[in-house]
Chain A
């Protein structure tokens, strides 16, 4: 169990620094040096739950696009991999596969947070099925090998992600059995993504609160109408519930099975919260909510994009529901 060891004043200070850091970060900028300057490694070592949640919440709030998620995955994967030859990124499963790496075969699909040219090596997890046993292998490819397969993600969000799709390269640097490292990495990434989604939600909800308090119709702020204020209160309920599940996920990280469940649950709740909150935030903004002149649409599209990474809410709900029904003794609630 992780206990919060950072006091409230330190936390406020850190939140302020991280927020400034994201505000100053140029598009496509590297978070690493700025975090080093903050002494982030020490903070993260002292209280990983608070540090990770804070960093990704602020990333979500600022709508920044960084490779911070790669760092989260690599923290779990690097220990089983040979020493890196330069910088590494991780190929994330394509959204249709949820948190399951693509099956071994002639084609390779996935998503990168940034173009392959920005790193030296790319770690590709692949699911192998042999004699009914499922295992995950980690292939380390030189980044240029994947460059021909990479295309910028075309869609309504502009996070700068890259899809990888095409014939699987034949010659990885290394192929290593992942053991439980992939499961742990995916769980850690789901917790980080949940925090990032909730950061976008928090920012969007605040914008809506301000708008509803300022915008006057019928001679008074629209926030005075229950049709408006109750939507925003519902958003708060969704946000607080999802935050609770995320915090609880950080309390079971020592137990691999529990960690996997709790992380998926946190990601599911965050995904559902964003769907609810973004719908209401847009509605509260009226016509301004559907126009690109305002800022709301950026939160809507980012949250939706983050939702589909490593298990979208529908996919997760279905796979978790299946496991609950078919695996005796699984009760995620009882674990909390």
Chain B
């Protein structure tokens, strides 16, 4: 095992050295008062800049794929390497040392969540058609899950799919759909039988995002960016062979996706936000604002660091468990909660230091720029399962508390809608 891993590391290094530039050590840390005064978490670029970045992401993913690093854990038949999750993590760790395009637009949802779902539930010719395209960077996938009346209560989706010959005809509205504006395919949860209980009448369909009747409209977030969308589906025809899983068996498919989601969110430790909340940068923030001597500020700084240490250690431990061949336990949910909270507290800490300059852009370096991070943090406590849902999971699965009473799991979905229990 060690020699095999050493060999993997050596080939990965060789590939990266040949195709990317290694970061110089200091380039990673922002210098106070120097360079672009922005602390971004979500993209706030104008569409043309965004599109150029997506093109770079696709190109880098293609390079990875062609060199055997596009889908480290995937089956060989689809261009994968059939290696462990640990190999994947090791590769990510190595790649972080190089200056390469961020491929989040492809990987967070498409490659991280939808790909494994297609692999588990699609027919062979559909896998052949989409999986290599996705991992080569050609097809970006989005998750057509949430709806205006089905957020945390995802099983209450109302988008309808009706069988017509060899096709399904889909009508409805999806919302809060990340990367839909760039996506070629979307995994859509549809109500196919309202006479069954809500979890049982759902079917999962793979929708061609360029099909007639699919309309994507951007949703602007309060942080200024527009990287999620609402998606309207009007008479969209989807061939039945694009169905994942059984008819009315879509909830099982959705669970595959969601399980991969929890594994994806919570592990990200780099980026401008993490760098802005690093100790050297925060020290300069306090120095610039004459707050180095304030006892309460020092206490909060230490507490921020203690919390970051806790989160990093739990992530660390999850990786070690993978290394030992066991699945990470509840610490995955715990660290997802803590990760979002740490960024939130960090942003609030900075906000409190810069005071009113957070609201009015005075042009002073390192003040108003915190606004974008501060306004991004609430989303972190919602995406990938709200804090409330995560806490329900911990309460039930780890603490062993009784389930929340579910009054709507057994009655036919049609009756719930009539009684107003589903949605409003």
Binding site for B on A (CB under 8 A): 205, 209, 212-213, 220-221, 223-224, 226, 229-230, 232-234, 236-237, 240-242, 244-245, 247-248, 265, 268-269, 272, 314, 316-318, 320-322, 324-326, 330-333, 336
Contacts and interface: CB of A to CB of B under 8 A. Distances in A.
A37 B316 CA distance: 37
Contact of B313 (A224, A244, A321): A244
Contacts of B299: 314, 317-318, 321
Contacts of B292: 325-326
Contact of A209 (B283, B300, B302, B401): B401
Interface in B99-137: none
Contacts of A248: 309, 313, 316
Given A236-B394, A265-B306, A324-B279, A245 B399 contact: no
Contact of A321 (B300, B334, B398, B401): B300
B402 A223 contact: yes
B306 A237 contact: no
Contact of B301 (A233, A237, A245, A325): A325
B220 interface: no
A268 B306 contact: yes
Interface of B: 279, 283, 286, 292, 295, 297-303, 305-314, 316-317, 330-331, 334, 337-338, 388, 390-392, 394-396, 398-405
A31 B5 CA distance: 47
Contact of A247 (B279, B300, B307, B313): B313
Contacts of A244: 310, 313-314, 317, 331
A244 B53 CA distance: 38
Given A229-B401, A324-B298, 5 more contacts: A205-B399, A240-B334, A248-B309, A265-B309, A317-B303
B301 A321 contact: yes
A213 B398 contact: no
Contacts of A205: 399
Nearest to B329: A240
A318 B297 CA distance: 8
A248 B314 CA distance: 10
The 4 lowest CB-CB distance pairs between A and B, nearest first, are A321-B298, A241-B310, A233-B391, A321-B302
B346 to A, nearest CB: 12
A268 B316 CA distance: 20
A269 B306 contact: yes
Contacts of B295: 318
B401 A213 contact: yes
Contacts of B395: 223, 229-230, 232-233
A241 B308 CA distance: 10
A232 B283 CA distance: 35
A244 to B, nearest CB: 4
A212 B308 contact: no
Contacts of B391: 226, 229-230, 233-234
Nearest to A242: B310
Contacts of B388: 226, 230
Nearest to B316: A336
A205 B400 CA distance: 12
Given A226-B388, A321-B300, A237 B394 contact: yes
B298 A269 contact: no
A325 B301 CA distance: 9
17 contacts: A209-B400, A213-B402, A223-B395, A224-B403, A230-B391, A230-B395, A240-B331, A241-B334, A269-B306, A272-B303, A317-B298, A317-B300, A317-B306, A320-B302, A321-B298, A326-B292, A336-B312
B316 to A, nearest CB: 7
A140 B11 CA distance: 61
B404 A224 contact: yes
B295 to A, nearest CB: 6
A320 B305 CA distance: 10
A226 B403 CA distance: 10
A333 B312 contact: yes
Contact of B401 (A232, A326, A330): A232
